[in-house]
A and B are shown apart, each in its own frame.
Chain A
Amino acid sequence: MATFHLQVVSMDGLIYEGSVQKIMLRTIDGDVAILARHTNYCTAIGMGTAHILLEDNSEKTAACIGGMLSVMDGECRVIPTTWEWSDAIDVERAKAAKKKAEQRLADEKLSEQARINAEAKLRRALVRLGTAQK
């Protein structure tokens, strides 16, 4: 299959650079897969698991949250807010975060901002757990 150049850069530095066959991730508008020779494209990334199909047909997965995806002249750039390879996810920590967020949400008197924060934390923890278990 044809390959294209992919760059994944987050605030933690350059995460991945190289030729890939396919990248699939969840945008704010649902799942998309980018293949070679895609038209110029730009979208915002939602919360979900990203799958990258490398040149040698092996697949890598990661928890990918926030940021943007752009394809310009056949170059694909993914600029996520957070990106964690599935093998680097700390499952115990994610579980703890999930539990803590659930407890916070159970509190009726929680303020609006705190509720939004706790919900975001819970969602992030769920994405991490979902990615790690695949």
Chain B
Amino acid sequence: MAANMKAVKLRIKSVQSTMQITKAMQLVAASKLRKAKEKADLSKPYLEVLRKTLTDIACENTEFHSPYTRADDNDKWLYIVIAGDRGLAGGYNANLFKFMESETRGRDISVLPIGKKSVEYFKQRKVPIFTEDYAEVAKITISECFEIGRRICEAYRNGQYGHIYLCYTNFVSMLTQTPEASSMLPLSDFEENAPDTEQEEKGKARELILYEPDSETVFDTIVPEYLAGLLYSGINVSVASELAARRTAMEAATDNAEEMIETLSLYYNRARQASITQEITEIVAGAEEP
């Protein structure tokens, strides 16, 4: 009995120290989350307006001189996948990769992984990787987003890829984060994403857009910047999602640890009581003997 008690005590101690860690991680994630959410909220209108404007342009576009606007038969897909740097964030990374799997089935894809987990995953799967220079999602700055934008544009213009997609985790609420993929290039891909109402109106004559100085110059200037913008806001939203997922996961872990400690200490107390009772019985039995 005494040996059993010792084992239980040890177990309680170990669960306690694990709980301390998960509790600390939960608090850290919660405090970081507040800042990350502010940042994500700020870049949300940018993302929405940018996407809406480009969808409008794609729907009404009649200019197909620029390589960025025209859909060609190049069937190579580049996915930019934003995942986390670290684990212990519940299903955050796993959900994203599962989603990627179903999204890209049957396509000839390459990836540009952002985040250490993303790099590891695609290396293991032997998926061709565009570049590994941006492994740490936490360290990416705006100017690096511009650099990525420029590099992607260059690869796209050289015909290395026919479609470019961004795969990230959208921050729906504190408790829900869903992986999503959105098209980046060519702009004609936006037409498919347009809401139904706009699709219905397609019968009517397209309104002409005036480009100054001409569509090609405009798109050549806008596209790298808009890629950077999409990427930057995608990263902000993903970071917020990661922290929210980690906070929820760590909260659950802490709750579980508390429950375990409760059960274990109940068991320990019972065992202690039993051993005391036994001792008393033995003493009493010994005293009555002579």
On A, residues with C-beta under 8 Å from B are: 7, 9-14, 27-29, 32, 39-44, 66-68, 70, 72-73, 77, 79, 81
List the one stretch of B71-79, B96-104, B203-211, B275-283 in contact with chain A.
B203-211
CB neighbors of A among B135-187 (8 A): 142
Q: Are B45 and A42 closer than 8 Å at their CB atoms?
A: no
Given A29-B213, A40-B207, A42-B218, the answer on whether A9 and B225 have CB atoms closer than 8 Å is no
Where chain B touches its partner, the secondary structure class is helix
Contacts of A70 in B (CB 8 A): 53, 56-57
CB-defined A-B contacts under 8 Å, sample of 15: A11-B42, A11-B229, A13-B41, A13-B46, A14-B45, A40-B209, A41-B209, A41-B212, A42-B57, A42-B209, A42-B211, A42-B212, A43-B218, A70-B53, A72-B53
Contacts of B218 in A (CB 8 A): 28, 42-44, 68
Additional A-B contacts beyond A68-B218, A72-B60 (12; CB < 8 A)? A9-B45, A39-B210, A40-B60, A41-B210, A42-B211, A44-B218, A66-B225, A67-B222, A67-B225, A68-B53, A72-B57, A79-B53
- Does B43 sit at the interface, judged by CB under 8 A? yes
Q: Are A44 and B57 closer than 8 Å at their CB atoms?
A: no
A72–B198 CA distance with the chains assembled, in angstroms: 14
CB neighbors of A among B263-280 (8 A): none
CB neighbors of A among B186-211 (8 A): 207-211
Contacts of B1 in A (CB 8 A): none
A68–B60 CA distance with the chains assembled, in angstroms: 17
Contacts of B225 in A (CB 8 A): 66-68, 81
A7–B208 CA distance with the chains assembled, in angstroms: 21
Contacts of A73 in B (CB 8 A): 207
Given A66-B225, A72-B56, A79-B46, the answer on whether A11 and B212 have CB atoms closer than 8 Å is no
Contacts of B46 in A (CB 8 A): 9-11, 13-14, 79
Minimum C-beta distance from A80 to chain B (A) = 10
Contacts of B222 in A (CB 8 A): 44, 67-68
**Which residue of chain B has the shortest Cβ distance to A38 in the bound complex?**
B210
Q: How many A-B residue pairs have CB under 8 A?
A: 82
Interchain CB contact (< 8 A) of A12 among B42, B50, B208: B42
Contacts of B217 in A (CB 8 A): 28-29, 44
Minimum C-beta distance from B117 to chain A (A) = 25
Where chain A touches its partner, the secondary structure class is strand
A77–B217 CA distance with the chains assembled, in angstroms: 19
**Which residue of chain B has the shortest Cβ distance to A7 in the bound complex?**
B49
Q: Mark B222-239, 1 if CB is under 8 A from A, else 0.
A: 100110010011000000
Contacts of B50 in A (CB 8 A): 9, 79
Contacts of A44 in B (CB 8 A): 217-218, 221-222
A10–B142 CA distance with the chains assembled, in angstroms: 13
Minimum C-beta distance from B196 to chain A (A) = 18
**Which residue of chain A has the shortest Cβ distance to B49 in the bound complex?**
A9
Contacts of A11 in B (CB 8 A): 42-43, 46, 142, 229, 232-233
A81–B166 CA distance with the chains assembled, in angstroms: 20
A39–B208 CA distance with the chains assembled, in angstroms: 9
A51–B46 CA distance with the chains assembled, in angstroms: 21
Q: Are A28 and B208 closer than 8 Å at their CB atoms?
A: no
Minimum C-beta distance from B174 to chain A (A) = 20
A73–B57 CA distance with the chains assembled, in angstroms: 11
Contacts of A68 in B (CB 8 A): 53, 218, 222, 225-226
Given A42-B210, A42-B218, A67-B225, the answer on whether A79 and B49 have CB atoms closer than 8 Å is yes
A9–B46 CA distance with the chains assembled, in angstroms: 5
CB neighbors of A among B45-77 (8 A): 45-46, 49-50, 53, 56-57, 60
Given A11-B229, A44-B221, the answer on whether A27 and B43 have CB atoms closer than 8 Å is no
Contacts of B53 in A (CB 8 A): 68, 70, 72, 77, 79
**Which residue of chain A has the shortest Cβ distance to B229 in the bound complex?**
A11
A43–B42 CA distance with the chains assembled, in angstroms: 24
